[in-house]
Structure 1
Amino acid sequence: MRRLIALSLTALGLSACVATTFPETTQELRDMPRGALAVKSEEFMVARSVGAVMNTFQTRGAACLHFDISSTMYGGTMVGGMRSSVNMQDVYRPRFESSGSTRTLVVQHYNRANIGNPGWYPRFVADVTPAAGGSKVTLYGPGLQSEFIREPIRAWARGDTRPCPAEKY
């Protein structure tokens, strides 16, 4: 009976992982309903040109957004008293896009443990568009899980070249 319960819980947990879909394009991330996967968007104005903002994004992105985070997740006690573990390696890389007057910084994410959605996907997007007196910056990405990326990008948009997000790891 214990074995059946353990197997049922494992199957339920795996099905939840497979059912979670991640956006595969920057537009899919922008279009996700707020609250889905805890996606958060914010908009703010900066007194800098689109070119100046993107120059900072490209300089700091090249220096700061090429990083890996390794971690191990441990599960509960499995059948037979063994504990399960999964080694995770999150890989982040910047990419830059342009469409009309909008310039975009995309922070791509890759994790081999993403069951059902292997490959790179956009983890965080920063759109920069011209506005009166400067630029409008719109950020899209998971709420708390991307704060370590969101905070420096906010600062970079304003011209502050604060430390890289990876320096916290």
Structure 2
Amino acid sequence: MRLSIVAVGRLKDGPERELYLRYAKRIDDAGRAVALGPLTLSEIPEARQSSAAQRKTDEAQRLIDQASGADLLVLLDVAGKSFTSETFARWLAGRRDDGHRTIAFLIGGPDGHGESALARANLKMSLGPLTMPHGLTRIVLAEQLYRAATILSGHPYHRA
């Protein structure tokens, strides 16, 4: 099952991008054995409208458009469903086993997600109650996707 992160904003070159790429490569390597991956990243520019509502509406539509080929849309939101690493791995395996071919994880801009993205999401997921920079969100999500692949394959990376 292909995995895609679609995010507002761009990771700049440097340590954050390098760390993200490290986990993306690990997912591609470890995920093959459990039919997860590859992981792709699509980045869209932040909207420039004057109001937050207009920015959210514009970004939501562009996120949805960028993720149009995905079978499932998972929207990252602080108020979404929280998973342990093990339950997240089982959830991913369940979607894979149900025949889904692609999951897109949507990361909104600084103003949050627009109504159209919220309405289209198959799942609203939280990485925790803390607010974090969107670049760091990509890294944490990529690490958890890698961790899920290792849990499903029985690799010792995850030691709960």
TM-score, normalising length from structure 1? 0.28
Q: Which structure has more RCO (C-alpha within 8 Å, separation ≥ 6)?
A: 2
TM-score, normalising length from structure 2? 0.30
Q: Counting strand residues as a fraction of each chain, which structure ranks higher?
A: 1
